[in-house]
Each structure stands twice: as structure tokens, then as C-alpha cells.
């Protein structure tokens, strides 16, 4: 089966063509990534210190059809189905009523968009920024109408979970993954501990009460004057500080680390960092431009966030007696988090699965993969009136 994945929930326009083959004896699935494109808008949003929804929508509209053309070029296969664009142009215009730029691009570049044997389209329908999600959804609906194939609505967080099994070439997913699995999902908008009981069967056992861990990284980076998104910059500075081995003059709180639940809270950490920075600035107005100062703040920030995430994840693995643990989402790119968690889990003989760095952020490969998992289990969930649900839960 060949699935076109579409992801537009935030500031990445991403498309992927993923082939899957199910072994009739074992039920295991082998996946081959045929073509994958991620167009990032991050630099455009940088000056706003976060993602600006109206601009995200505009950029997705502008980028999605040209990206599809690029994707098909990468795929490099000859097209062997005829499109019937002119016959369907009125309906397509209706579907894309609110995305006129997408319609324009589609009508101009239709030659490039004959269907290369795609069987279904998997598209993110939440959670995320609704104006951005709609671009992906309506593009998926238009292409599905054009090619007469089904659309599978995918939960973005479900995509992040399964990204831990994926890579950019080929990979396989056992039919009998070792359930239950604990998945720590950490991104700019989410911090969740999920009990994965089976394919398509998830229970959120804990989440953040306020800021997400990625948001904490980003907001603290901003206090230090670092560009958005700031997680990676904090992580680089923290690494230097750790390498120097100097004692850190600062200590920040580890909010809720010892509470007997799976809840998180990161807004107090951000406030504590702000107080510390304000106090130091009063003593020395140039302190923010001191590299050493930035490194110390970054290291203690990273240590605090990683300590909390690790403690709660270990508690969950222990309580639910799981043999496999997943970390995924943008923050799972954090090297310190990976190392600390891996070392702790190793002593418990628990396997840690993490996506390759190229798949930690938002991408359409994970959406195509989650779409296939869903289709395999529930072929009936293919629906026509897909809606964007900004706060969609697992």
C-alpha cells in the first residue's frame, strides 16, 4: 500500500510517500520511505518569538503544492493514471474555497500531479494550529477527490509515538510490539506520558498543567536573548558548560518531580530563571552578554527539565511494568535527555526507542506511518468530513 502523508499542524509543511508491505505469515509490516520533504517556516516566525498562525497558514498554502511537485520529482516514477482535473475543477474549487492559493497552484501545476499509484492520503487533523491544519486537510481532500482515493485523519501525537520505530530509508514494525509501552511525548505544545496499550489504543496517564517542556526551553532561551526555537541553543550552551566541568552557581527548582503522579509543571521553572536573571542583571547590567553566564543558566535549565522528565518517565515504566519506552517529539532531540533516560532504563533492562534526529520534529513520514497503522487496524475510519481539531487528544 502506498500512502501520501501530509503534515501542516505548525510551522513545517511536510509531505511523504511511504510504501508498506505486510508479511502474510507474521503480520509484520515493512515500510519504505520513497520520498519525504520538510519545508520549514521557522526562520520566518523567529522575529515573533513563536509561531504566528496567520503567517503559518499563508506559508503552507504557498508551499504545499510546489512541495508536492518536488516530492513526485524525488519519487521519479512514471505516472500511469490520468487525472481528470477539468471535470472536477468546480468541486475542487469548493473544497479549497478557503485556500485559494492552493487551488491556483493545483490548477497550474496539475501535470505534475498525476497520481503515482497512491492508495490513500493520511493527513494531520489535530492537535495544532487550526488555520494551519485546514490547509493540509483541504489539500488532502482535494487530492483525494481528484484521484478518487480515501483520506485517513491522523492525530499528530500518534505520529510522534510511531516515529520512534521509523527512519528515512526502510524499517519494519512488528505486529506484536511489546505492549504496553510508555511513551514520553515532548514538544513545543505537549508534554505527555502515554500508556500505549496496543496499536490505536492509548491512555494519557499524565501531562503538563501549564507550559510544555519545549515551551519552557523556548521561553527561557528568550530570556537569554537566544533565537526561537530556543531548545537547541540551550542544549548547545549546556553541553559546553557540562564539558567545562565548572561548578554551577545557580540552582533551579524541579517542579513536581516527587509528586506521586504523572503530572508536570514548567511555568514555575521559567519564573525562577527570570528572577535569577533579573537579580544578576541588577548586579551587572552586561551579564546577559557573558557566555559563561548563559552557559550556566542553560545547563541548570536543561538539568532541571531532564531531571523531571526522567523521574516521571521512570516512575511510569516502573508502575506499568513496561519493557519498552519511547521518547518522541521535538524535545526528544535533546542529547542530554536521551543519555540520562537511556542510562537509567538500561539498569532496569528496559529498551529505549527514539526517532532519528531528522524525525524528532514535525514530519509527514510519521503521519503516513500512523495513518497506515490506523488503516490496517480500522479500515473503516476513513471519513469524508474531516475537521481540524486544534486541541485533539489521543
Does 333 help bind ligand KG4 (rule: CB under 6 A)? yes
Q: What is the footprint of ligand KG4 within residues 159-218 (CB under 6 A)?
A: 187-189, 214, 217-218
Smallest gap from Cβ 77 to Zn ion, in A, equals 30
Choosing from 331, 350, 352, 365, the residue that interacts with ligand KG4 (CB under 6 A) is 331
* Euclidean distance between CA atoms 240 and 13, whole angstroms: 33
What are the b/e assignments for 236-265, b being 16+ CB within 10 Å?
Answer: ebbbebbeeeeeeebebebbbbeeeebbbb
User: Using CB under 5 A, which of the segments 112-120, 233-241, 295-303, 362-370 binds Zn ion?
Assistant: 362-370
Q: Give the E-state strand segments of the chain in sequence order.
A: 2-7, 12-22, 29-40, 120-126, 151-155, 170-173, 181-186, 191-198, 201-207, 324-328, 351-353
Joined grid coordinates for residue 207: 501531562
CB 182 within 8 A of CB 320: yes
Whose Cβ is closer to ligand KG4: residue 128's or residue 180's?
128
The end-to-end CA distance of the chain, in Å, is 25
Q: Which is nearer to ligand KG4, 107 or 207 (CB)?
A: 207
Contact between 229 and ligand KG4 by CB under 6 A: the answer reads yes
Binding test (CB under 5 A) with Zn ion, winner from 115, 155, 187, 324: 187
Please choose, out of 191-199, 270-278, 308-316, 361-369, the segment that lies near Zn ion by the rule CB under 5 A. 361-369
Q: Which does 229 bind (CB under 5 to 8 A by kind): ligand KG4, Zn ion, none?
A: ligand KG4
Q: How many residues belong to the site for ligand KG4 (CB under 6 A)?
A: 19
Closest-approach residue to ligand KG4 (CB): 330
206: partner contacted, choices ligand KG4, Zn ion, none (Cβ within 5-8 A by kind): none
Sole window of 69-77, 99-107, 110-118, 230-238 interacting with ligand KG4 (rule: CB under 6 A): 230-238
Per the listing, cell 496499550 goes with 197
| Closest CB 344 distance from Zn ion, rounded Å | 25
| Dihedral sign computed on CA atoms, order 126, 129, 135, 138 | positive
Residue 180's binding partner, choosing from ligand KG4, Zn ion, none, with beta-carbon cut-off 5 to 8 A by kind?
none
Going by C-alpha positions, the residue among 229, 197, 225, 196 that lies closest to residue 334 is 229
Among 12, 192, 303, 362, binds Zn ion (CB under 5 A): 362
Phi, psi of 106 (to 5 degrees): -65, -45
Minimum CB separation from Zn ion for residue 103, in Å?
Answer: 27
E strand intervals along 293-350: 324-328
CB 190 within 8 A of CB 200: no
Closer residue to ligand KG4 (CB): 130 or 362 = 362
Query: Of 235, 265, 295, 313, which lies in the binding site for ligand KG4, with binding defined by CB under 6 A?
Result: 235
Selected binder of ligand KG4 within 126, 159, 330, 371 (CB under 6 A): 330
Long-range CB contacts (< 8 A, 24+ apart) of 267-273?
Answer: 267/210, 267/211, 267/216, 269/216, 269/220, 269/301, 269/304, 269/305, 270/211, 270/216, 270/219, 270/220, 270/223, 273/220, 273/223, 273/297, 273/301
Give the full edge-to-edge strand order of the sheet including 191-198: 201-207, 191-198, 181-186, 324-328, 351-353
> Which CB, 69 or 390, lies closer to ligand KG4?
390
Identified binder of ligand KG4 from the candidate list 116, 334, 355, 370, rule CB under 6 A: 334
Residue 321 φ/ψ region, left for φ over 0, alpha for ψ in the -120 to 50 degree band, beta for the rest: left
Binding piece for ligand KG4, criterion CB under 6 A, among 66-74, 145-153, 195-203, 323-331: 323-331
Which residues contact Zn ion by CB under 5 A?
187, 362
Which residues contact ligand KG4 by CB under 6 A?
10, 187-189, 214, 217-218, 229-232, 235, 329-331, 333-334, 361-362
Amino acid at each position: 500500500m502506498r500512502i501520501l502523508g501530509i503534515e501542516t499542524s505548525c510551522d513545517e509543511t511536510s509531505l511523504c510517500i511511504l510504501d508498506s508491505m505486510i508479511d502474510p505469515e507474521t503480520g509484520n509490516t515493512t515500510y519504505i520511505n520513497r520520498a519525504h520533504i520538510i519545508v520549514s517556516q521557522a526562520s520566518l516566525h523567529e522575529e515573533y518569538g513563536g509561531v504566528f498562525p496567520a503567517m503559518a497558514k499563508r506559508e503552507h498554502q504557498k508551499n504545499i503544492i510546489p512541495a508536492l511537485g518536488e516530492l513526485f520529482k524525488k519519487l521519479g516514477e512514471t505516472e500511469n493514471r490520468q487525472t481528470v482535473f477539468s471535470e472536477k475543477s468546480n468541486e475542487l474549487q469548493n473544497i479549497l474555497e478557503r485556500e485559494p492559493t492552493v487551488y491556483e497552484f493545483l490548477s497550474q501545476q496539475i501535470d505534475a500531479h498525476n497520481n503515482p499509484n497512491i492508495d490513500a492520503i493520511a493527513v494531520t487533523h489535530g492537535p495544532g494550529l487550526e488555520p494551519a491544519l485546514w490547509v493540509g486537510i483541504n489539500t488532502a481532500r482535494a487530492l483525494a477527490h481528484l484521484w478518487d482515493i480515501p483520506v485517513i485523519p491522523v492525530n499528530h501525537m500518534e505520529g510522534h509515538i510511531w516515529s520512534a520505530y521509523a527512519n528515512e530509508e526502510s524499517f519494519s514494525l512488528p505486529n506484536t510490539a511489546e505492549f504496553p509501552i510508555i511513551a514520553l511525548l515532548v514538544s513545543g505544545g505537549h508534554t505527555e506520558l502515554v500508556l500505549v496499550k496496543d496499536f490505536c489504543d492509548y491512555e494519557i496517564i499524565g501531562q503538563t498543567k501549564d507550559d510544555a517542556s519545549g515551551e519552557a526551553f523556548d521561553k527561557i532561551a528568550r530570556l537569554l536573548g537566544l533565537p526561537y526555537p530556543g531548545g537547541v541553543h540551550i542544549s548547545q550552551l549546556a553541553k559546553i558548560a557540562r564539558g567545562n566541568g565548572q561548578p554551577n552557581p545557580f540552582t533551579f527548582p524541579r517542579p513536581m518531580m516527587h509528586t506521586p503522579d504523572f503530572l508536570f509543571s514548567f511555568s514555575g521553572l521559567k519564573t525562577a530563571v527570570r528572577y535569577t536573571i533579573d537579580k544578576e542583571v541588577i548586579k551587572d547590567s552586561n551579564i546577559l552578554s557573558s557566555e559563561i553566564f548563559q552557559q550556566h543558566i542553560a545547563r541548570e535549565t536543561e538539568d532541571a527539565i531532564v531531571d523531571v522528565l526522567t523521574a516521571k518517565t521512570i516512575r511510569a515504566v516502573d508502575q506499568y511494568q513496561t519493557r519498552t519506552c519511547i521518547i518522541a517529539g521535538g524535545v526528544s532531540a535533546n542529547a542530554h535527555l536521551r543519555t540520562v533516560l537511556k542510562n537509567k532504563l538500561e539498569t532496569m533492562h528496559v529498551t529505549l526507542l527514539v526517532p532519528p534526529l531528522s524525525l524528532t520534529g514535525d514530519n509527514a513520514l510519521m503521519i503516513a506511518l500512523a495513518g497506515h497503522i490506523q488503516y490496517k487496524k480500522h479500515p473503516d475510519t476513513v471519513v469524508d468530513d474531516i475537521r481540524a481539531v486544534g486541541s485533539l487528544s489521543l
